[in-house]
Amino acid sequence: MKMNLNNPTLREKFKPSALIAIAICLAVVVLFPIVVTSRYIVNLVILAAASGVAALGLTVCLGYTGLLSMAQAVFYSIGSYAVALCTTRMDIGWWGGMFLGLVLAALMGLFLGFASLKVSGRYLAMVTICVQVVFALVLMNWREVTNGADGISGIGRPWLFTELDDAQKFCWFSLAVLFICVLIIWALKTSKLGRSMRAVRENEMAAECLGVNTLRVKVIAFLICGVLGSLGGSLYASGFLYISPDSFVYQNSVDFLSMVLVGGTDSAFGAVIGASILTFLPEALCDLESLYLVIYGCIIIVVIIFMPDGLWGYVDRFMRRFSKKKMLPEVKQALAVGECDCDEVLHIENIGMHFGGLKALDGVDYAVHKGEIHALIGPNGSGKTTCINVISGIYTPTFGKVTFLGEEITGMKPHIIARKGLTRTFQNLRLFSKLSVYENVLVGSQRAGGSEEEIIDRALAAIEFVGLKDVAYEQCRSLPYGHQKLVELARNLAGKPKLLLLDEPAAGLNESEKEMLGDLLIRIHKMGLTMLLVEHDMSLISKLATKCTVLNFGEKIADGDVDEALTDPQVVEAYLGTKEVSEDDA
């Protein structure tokens, strides 16, 4: 990361209050092991720090990216055993062992990441459970390497300018590692990658169509998750100098999950709070003897049911109430659209899309030229949305060819097509509803590349253009429907599009909102943006469209000027039916 403090995001990230908070944390890290000398508490702090680092992995995976992993104890064990084996049996030392653990955990993370290509949701959770169960059994039974149930003792500690041989020094080291990890994961959240991750969590398909390589993002999420899990494990092993397989079973993975849930999944601080509470709580409640386990279980349920954002969610909301309203950075430039150096922007040749026996599209061709608003109309079920899905890469057509600016894009992944400047909206809104308006548009703006500053400038211009400046920091889900539609438009405009596909932009809007939308689209048109418009509202079409293609039952029945196409007898028949047809039916 370039540490350029003129960079607006960095300036926002490292504002005075944040710097003070960082300084306080740093002071705690440095002073704590000096002030607290109780061996017992120091050990607990090491445990909490190790768990905290591992839980941070879940913050990235589950909290940011929305991938439920129940295999954090696997990564934890990789780091633990790597350090244990390297310091006891091989002469590689702690740092070598830790590094080896990171590499192995990264490989395992890659494996889980690619599994997410095949399965998602509860099935992905099941993949992680399978890995967890099998791995735990291997640790238990591969006696030659892991020493089985007896575990490994006499684990070494790292050398860092001095031998960290007593618990206090190692506690300091663990806290320092935790501090650095928290700082990185906290900064990650508002970075380009972090935004992409949260976009994937909120709506994977929309993220993909805005140019986010969702597979890559998910793989990276698992990678970070694994690396942090392993790092935590290395701290754990050296903290207690002894490990055995029963600390790395399914139950332990569930414990890590509980930590991030209790603390709050959406923030790095949540993981630390959760890990601390769940480490210290059993000790604090130990006077109640075994009853503490019940209380522990109750706390988890109560937190999940009544505090969906965890404890940090509460703190965060409380702080936000007292901090002053955030101001949007200044808009520096006007909205710009992409330049097309080719007259024929989009060319569709003989496209067919069959779903089993259903021919949603059957040999359609048309072309969209530079500067046009090309309307694609037809009765319900005529294949309009399928057509948009084929062009944007969501479906690979059964046959035929799609050419965008002279380049064939048939069968390419949506994010690659999106990065070429072809962008789309969705019939049913697909917003990143828990992200703010500003963040939604930033994700859209990332597609066109450039530095963070350029991304921000484009996003601001787009927000200004659609007139949502006043609500830029609101969560999308709290906005009225009409505004949400505008967010989607802004999200597309911020990425310097060359062709904009609009799938029923006016659906669900009232008359005045439609009017406003029409005016906006005309302004965009005047800026030179080519558009393909799917719409049912004929008044909007006659107001906007310059060319028109009519589909019916997956085939093109008319093409050309709007007035001409709308009066074509076949089109009238498709929309209204004819006498002969109704007689045939009867």
Binding string to other proteins for residues 5 to 24, with x set by CB under 8 A, is what? --------------------
Binder of other proteins out of 66, 194, 414, 495 (CB under 8 A)? 66
DSSP 3-state of 387: helix
If you compute the radius of gyration of the chain from its CA atoms, what whole number of angstroms results? 28
Other beta carbons less than 10 A from residue 429's beta carbon: 17
Residue environment code for 241-263, b if the CB has 16+ CB neighbours within 10 A, otherwise e = bebbbebbbbebbebbbbbbbbb
CA 156 to chain centre: 39
Task: By CB under 8 A, tell whether 250 contacts other proteins.
Answer: yes
When the beta carbons of 297 and 449 are compared against other proteins, the nearer one is 297
| Position 107 contacts other proteins (CB under 8 A) | no
For other proteins, give the closer residue by CB, 115 or 448. 115
The values of phi and psi at residue 559, to 5°, are -160, 140
**What is d(CA 254, CA 240) in angstroms, rounded to the nearest whole number?**
21
> CB atoms < 10 A from the CB of 510, how many?
11
Taking the complex as a whole, the smallest distance from the CB of residue 493 to other proteins amounts, in Å, to: 24
| Residue 144 touches other proteins, criterion: CB under 8 A | no
Contacting other proteins (CB under 8 A), which of 47, 49, 61, 115? 115
Among 21, 90, 180, 294, binds other proteins (CB under 8 A): 294
| DSSP conformational letter for 442 | H
Interacting span for other proteins (CB under 8 A) from 175-183, 289-297, 340-348, 504-512: 289-297
Q: How far is the CB of 503 from other proteins (least distance, A)?
A: 13
Nearer to other proteins, 19 or 298 (CB): 298
Site for other proteins in 300-339 (CB under 8 A): 300-301, 304-305, 308
Identify the helix (H) or strand (E) that includes residue 146: helix 143-146
Q: Are 235 and 155 within 8 A, CB to CB? A: no
| Selected binder of other proteins within 18, 293, 522, 581 (CB under 8 A) | 293
Question: What CA–CA distance (Å, rounded) separates 24 from 46?
Answer: 19
Q: Does 131 bind other proteins (CB under 8 A)?
A: yes
d(CA 58, CA 254): 11
* Cα–Cα dist 363/231, whole Å: 56
Site for other proteins in 154-213 (CB under 8 A): 204-205
Interface residue with other proteins among 2, 118, 325, 579 (CB under 8 A) is: 118
Which element (helix H / strand E) includes 79? helix 72-88
**Among 4, 17, 37, 141, interactor with other proteins by CB under 8 A:** 141
- Residue span 67-86 as binding mask against other proteins, x where in contact by CB under 8 A, dash where not: -x------------------
Please provide the size of the chain in residues.
586
The nearest distance, CB 386 to other proteins, in angstroms, is: 13
Q: Is 162 left (phi over 0), alpha (psi -120 to 50) or beta?
A: beta
Q: Alpha-carbon distance 56 to 463, whole Å?
A: 33
Return the number of the residue (331 or 394) whose C-beta is nearest other proteins.
394
Rule CB under 8 A: is residue 499 a binding residue for other proteins?
no
CB neighbours of residue 265 within 10 Å: 26
Residue 225 binds other proteins (CB under 8 A): no
Does 254 bind other proteins (CB under 8 A)? Our answer is yes
| Of residues 118 and 325, the one with the C-beta less far from other proteins | 118
Whose tokens are 């600390």? That residue is 247
Helix H, strand E, coil C: the string for 480-534 is CHHHHHHHHHHHHHCCCCCEEEEECCCCCCCHHHHHHHHHHHHHHHHCCCEEEEE
Q: Does 296 bind other proteins (CB under 8 A)?
A: yes
Q: Which stretch binds other proteins (CB under 8 A): 89-97, 236-244, 291-299, 458-466?
A: 291-299
Q: How far is the CB of 144 from other proteins (least distance, A)?
A: 13
* End-to-end alpha carbon distance in the chain: 71
Return the structure tokens found at 521.
Answer: 């689209």
516 lines the binding site for other proteins (CB under 8 A): no
Cβ-based nearer residue to other proteins, 128 or 549: 128
- By CB under 8 A, is residue 251 in contact with other proteins? yes
The CA-based diameter of the chain, rounded to the nearest angstrom, is: 95
Q: Which residue in this structure is represented by tokens 């949305």?
A: 385
Q: How far is the CB of 400 from other proteins (least distance, A)?
A: 22
Verify binding: residue 244, other proteins, rule CB under 8 A.
no
Decide: 48 and 280 in contact? Cβ < 8 Å. yes
Shortest reach from residue 270's CB to other proteins, in Å: 14
358 near other proteins, rule: CB under 8 A: no
Q: Is 87 strand, coil or helix?
A: helix
List, in sequence order, every residue forming a beta bridge with 19; answer none if it has no partner: none
Q: Give the interface size with other proteins as a residue count (CB under 8 A).
A: 41
- CA-to-CA distance for 390 and 500, rounded, in angstroms? 14
Instruction: Point out which span in 177-185, 252-260, 316-324, 467-475 binds other proteins (CB under 8 A).
Output: 252-260
Query: Any contact of residue 261 with other proteins (CB under 8 A)?
Result: yes
Residue 140 sits in the site that holds other proteins (CB under 8 A): yes
Q: Which residues contact other proteins (rule: CB under 8 A)?
A: 66, 68, 115, 118-123, 125-127, 129-131, 133-134, 137-138, 140-141, 204-205, 250-251, 254, 257-258, 261, 290-291, 293-294, 296-298, 300-301, 304-305, 308
